[in-house]
């Protein structure tokens, strides 16, 4: 088999990227011009000038998702591959990868052992159903610090080893320290056993992947020796609360659409989301050794959101990094309530703000610099929206309470009457709402046309979409305030702890909801009262914001309810394909076998160590010794031997 013949070619990639950039720029300029015309008709004040600058940034940000969704909609509607732009052909009945050694690596830390074992067992059993499952092993990499959890964890993995033997080998290793967190855990594995495996499939503790997807990923890596990483699109599952079901529905409806649009313009410089992805082991080892950032946390020290950086370093070394939007059976779990969701965002905010320090790192691909910027803007725009609303409120009150100067010139014959511009205000408001909501509408239309049964039918799909939009509008002010507080906290020098995520559903008590939201409620009440008394017209324009803040505690309480979530499901609302048409990997999850409480896991295999040199952000390419090889992918070869597939001897010497 000539593997080089199956590599993906991307026609007109530069033209695509330029076209998307022009569309985003033109839309942003049009919206900014309308806002400028509205503000300047009666003279722009200093406050309004700030509002205009903030509007340009935030409006430009949402237009990126707007055009990405449109592109994704067209490609999915016409069934075109976002990379090659060719018509999507039915996949082969069974992928047939050649000889390989692939590890399913799952870094964990203080997780529920039974939940971890059940998810990994379901993934492994699905893999064993495939006719080409040879070459796979599983490796659980524990960073658990709690001795009691570690004891139960070892017993759970020991039971899993016994149940899967001899069909599939499961290894277990617990580190004595957790230096470097997840990135350090994975790096430790690579340095000790990296040369044992051709590929690594990275799983989170809550990851689930189907066997066909895993085999297809290996097959795709072997088809193109220049690929270093392939990221799938994980879809949330297994949540029963209102908020969890809302998140699952939104992701199932919109994530494939947006991912397809992203794939269209980012090409072979895609991102890495840290899990549910396959890596070429030696490419990862040679190019992704992470240094610590200069300075102290939160913006210095260990790189928290390491996945974006690893993708950038791999692309810098010449490897392709791809996003595969065609593969299904890739799942994850999400927090079941707003508070846990916000805690996870708090960690991501610190990590993504660190990326701003890497925008000027040497040798990075321009697309990876954009990924860094976009990742930070995903949270910074919350602060910018908040600032824009606050400044707009101050300006509205000042205009409502101030006296208009009818005779600004010394010898005017006619007064300067205040001028209103409804012909611009309403179109701008409608256009902004359209830019925000169109991605949701397109996701609904695509599902309505192509797979309504996967969401319970067309009528439930429409009702669920309206409910999802309503919940999103209500919680947006709360998330805006939380994100703004987190950003200011990070910029103020307060680092965050990186604890295990709470994955099981649980209702938030009223006391907890009030304790975390009393300030938001107070701000909402003060904001509403002030605008009602001093700028009544602006009070009504601002109602979605202050209403969401006033309802913060009830929103958190109600949306965390498991009982109400189950009622919504019985009513046919917020149903997702994973529930309506569950794959076998999800069906098996509920029937996972328990483990003996005192079982002990087998020791890990003999080490096959290799170097993972620390990279430099200040110099590229690295210094090379005369005997070292180029840090770039080897030329394609038609050989299918493991040495040909993985023999990219990248050597990046540390600074």
Spell out the SS3 assignment of 449-516: HHCHHHHCCHHHHHHHHHHHHHHHHHHHHHHHHHHHHHHHHHHCCCCCCCCCCCCCCCCCCHHHHHHH
Read off the pLDDT band of 634 (50, 70, 90): very low
Of residues 499 and 539, the one with the higher pLDDT is 539
pLDDT at position 125 over 60: yes
**Percent of the chain whose predicted confidence (pLDDT) is above 70:** 87
Residues near 577 by beta carbon (within 8 Å), at least 6 away in sequence: 252, 451, 454, 455
576 Cβ contact partners less than 8 Å away, ≥ 6 residues apart: 235, 237, 245, 248, 249, 252, 454, 455
Residue 256 has pLDDT above 50, yes or no: yes
pLDDT of residue 500: 63
How high is the pLDDT of residue 427? 78
**What is the pLDDT at residue 591?**
60
Candidate from 5-14, 228-237, 575-584 with smallest mean pLDDT? 5-14
Taking 80 as the threshold, does the pLDDT of residue 8 lie above it?
A: no
- Six-digit token pair at 391? 């400044």
pLDDT of residue 59: 94
pLDDT for the residue numbered 408: 54
Question: Residue 646: what pLDDT?
Answer: 35
Q: What is the pLDDT of residue 403?
A: 54
Rounded to an integer, the average pLDDT of 260-282 is 96
How many residues belong to the chain? 655
Cis peptide before 166 (omega within 30 of 0): yes
pLDDT at residue 418 in the model: 47
Is the pLDDT at 421 greater than 70? The verdict is no
- Do residues 215 and 95 touch, judged by C-beta distance below 8 A? yes
Listed range (18-27, 247-256, 502-511) with the worst mean pLDDT:
502-511
Query: What value does the mean pLDDT of the chain take?
Result: 87
For the ranges 67-71, 397-401, 533-537, 596-600, the lowest mean pLDDT is seen at 596-600
Cβ contact 425:38 at 8 Å:
yes
Pairing relation of β-strands 277-280 and 227-231? antiparallel
Q: What pLDDT shows up at residue 95?
A: 74
State mean pLDDT over 588-614. 81
pTM for the structure as a whole:
0.90
Give Cα 560 distance to the centre of its chain. Answer: 22
Predicted confidence at residue 483, as pLDDT, reads 95
Q: Residue 653 — very low, low, confident or very high, per pLDDT cuts 50/70/90?
A: very low
pLDDT surpassing 80 at residue 108: yes
E strands present in 33-177 = 102-108, 136-142, 169-174
At 333 the three-state DSSP class reads: coil
Supply the pLDDT for residue 88: 87
Average pLDDT over residues 89-99: 76
* 346-350, 467-471, 620-624: the lowest-pLDDT one: 620-624
pLDDT of amino acid 131: 84
- Angle among Cα 141, 147, 148 to the nearest 5 degrees reads 105
Angstrom distance (rounded) from CA 435 to CA 27: 10
pLDDT confidence band for 633 (50 / 70 / 90) = low
Least confident of 139-148, 169-178, 381-390, 594-603: 594-603
Distance (Å, rounded) from C-alpha 565 to C-alpha 574? 9
16-25, 106-115, 621-630: least confident range: 621-630
pLDDT tens track for 477-495: 999 999 999 999 999 888 7
Confidence of residue 92 (pLDDT cuts 50, 70, 90): low
Q: How far apart, in Å, are the Cα atoms of 116 and each of 202, 463, 534?
A: 14, 35, 56
Query: Cα 471 vs. chain centroid, distance in angstroms?
Result: 20
**Is residue 406 pLDDT above 60, yes or no?**
no
Query: pLDDT tens digits, residue range 335-373?
Result: 999 999 999 999 899 999 999 999 999 999 999 999 999
* In 324-424, beta strands by DSSP E: 330-332
Within 8 A by CB and 6+ apart from 516, the residues are 339, 556
Cα-flanking dihedrals φ and ψ of residue 415, to 5°? -75, 160
CA–CA separation, 338 and 387 (whole Å): 23
Lowest mean pLDDT among 351-355, 427-431, 489-493, 563-567: 427-431
Given a contact cutoff of 8 angstroms between Cβ atoms, the answer to whether 118 and 215 are in contact is no
Q: Quote the percentage of the chain above a pLDDT of 90.
A: 72
Q: How confident is the model at residue 3 (pLDDT cuts 50, 70, 90)?
A: very low
* 506 — pLDDT class (breaks 50, 70, 90): confident
Can you tell me the distance from the alpha carbon of 122 to that of 135, in angstroms, rounded to the nearest whole number?
A: 18
């Amino acid at each position: 088999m000539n593997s080089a013949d199956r590599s993906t070619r991307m026609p007109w990639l530069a033209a695509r990227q330029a076209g998307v950039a022009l569309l985003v720029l033109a839309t942003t300029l049009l919206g900014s011009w309308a806002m400028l015309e509205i503000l300047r008709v009666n003279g722009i004040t200093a406050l309004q000038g700030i509002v205009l600058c903030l509007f340009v940034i935030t409006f430009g940000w949402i237009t990126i998702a707007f055009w990405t969704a449109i592109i994704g909609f067209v490609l999915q509607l016409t069934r075109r591959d976002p990379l090659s732009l060719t018509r999507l052909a039915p996949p082969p009945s069974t992928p047939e990868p050649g000889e390989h050694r692939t590890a399913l690596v799952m870094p964990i830390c203080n997780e529920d052992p039974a939940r971890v074992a059940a998810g990994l067992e379901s993934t492994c059993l699905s893999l064993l159903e495939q006719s080409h499952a040879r070459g796979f092993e599983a490796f659980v990499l524990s960073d658990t610090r709690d001795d009691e959890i570690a004891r139960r964890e070892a017993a759970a993995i020991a039971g899993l080893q016994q149940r899967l033997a001899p069909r599939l080998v499961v290894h277990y290793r617990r580190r004595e320290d957790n230096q470097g967190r997840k990135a350090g855990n994975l790096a430790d594995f690579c340095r000790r056993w990296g040369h044992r495996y051709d590929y690594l499939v990275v799983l989170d503790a809550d990851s689930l992947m189907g066997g066909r997807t895993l085999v297809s990923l290996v097959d795709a890596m072997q088809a193109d020796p220049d690929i270093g990483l392939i990221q799938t699109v994980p879809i949330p599952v297994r949540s029963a609360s209102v908020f969890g079901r809302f998140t699952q529905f939104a992701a199932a409806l919109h994530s494939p659409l947006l991912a397809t649009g992203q794939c269209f313009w980012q090409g072979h410089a895609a991102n890495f989301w840290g899990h549910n992805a396959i890596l070429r082991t030696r490419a990862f080892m040679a190019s992704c050794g992470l240094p610590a950032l200069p300075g102290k946390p939160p913006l210095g020290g260990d790189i928290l959101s390491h996945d974006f950086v690893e993708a950038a370093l791999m692309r810098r070394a010449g490897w392709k990094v791809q996003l595969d939007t065609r593969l299904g059976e890739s799942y994850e779990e999400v927090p079941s309530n707003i508070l846990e969701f916000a805690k996870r965002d708090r960690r991501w905010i610190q990590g993504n703000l660190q990326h701003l320090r890497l925008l000027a790192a040497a040798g990075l691909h321009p697309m990876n610099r954009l990924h860094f910027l976009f990742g930070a803007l995903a949270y910074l725009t919350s602060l910018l929206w908040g600032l824009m609303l606050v400044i707009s409120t101050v300006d509205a009150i000042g205009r409502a309470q101030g006296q208009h100067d009818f005779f600004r010139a010394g010898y005017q014959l006619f007064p300067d009457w205040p001028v209103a511009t409804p012909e611009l205000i309403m179109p701008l408001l409608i256009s902004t709402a359209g830019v925000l909501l169109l991605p949701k509408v397109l996701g609904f239309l695509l599902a309505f046309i192509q797979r309504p049964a996967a969401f319970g039918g067309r009528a439930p799909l429409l009702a669920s979409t309206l409910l999802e939009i309503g919940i999103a509008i209500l919680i947006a002010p709360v998330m805006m305030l939380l994100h703004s507080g987190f950003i200011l906290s990070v910029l103020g020098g307060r680092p965050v702890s990186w604890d295990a995520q709470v994955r099981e559903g649980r209702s938030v008590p009223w006391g907890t909801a009030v304790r975390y939201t009393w300030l938001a409620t107070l701000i909402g009440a003060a904001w509403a009262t002030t605008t009602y008394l001093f700028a009544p017209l602006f009070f009504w324009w601002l109602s979605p914001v202050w209403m969401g803040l006033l309802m913060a505690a009830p929103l958190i309480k109600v949306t965390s309810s498991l009982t109400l979530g189950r009622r919504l499901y019985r009513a046919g609302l917020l149903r997702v394909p994973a529930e309506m048409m569950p794959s076998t990997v999800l069906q098996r999850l509920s029937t996972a076998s328990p483990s003996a409480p005192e079982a002990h896991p087998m020791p890990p295999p003999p080490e096959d160590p290799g170097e993972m040199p620390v990279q430099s952000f200040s110099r590229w390419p690295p210094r090379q010794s005369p005997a070292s090889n180029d840090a770039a992918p080897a030329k394609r070869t038609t050989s299918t031997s493991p040495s040909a597939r993985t023999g990219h001897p990248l050597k990046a010497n540390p600074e």
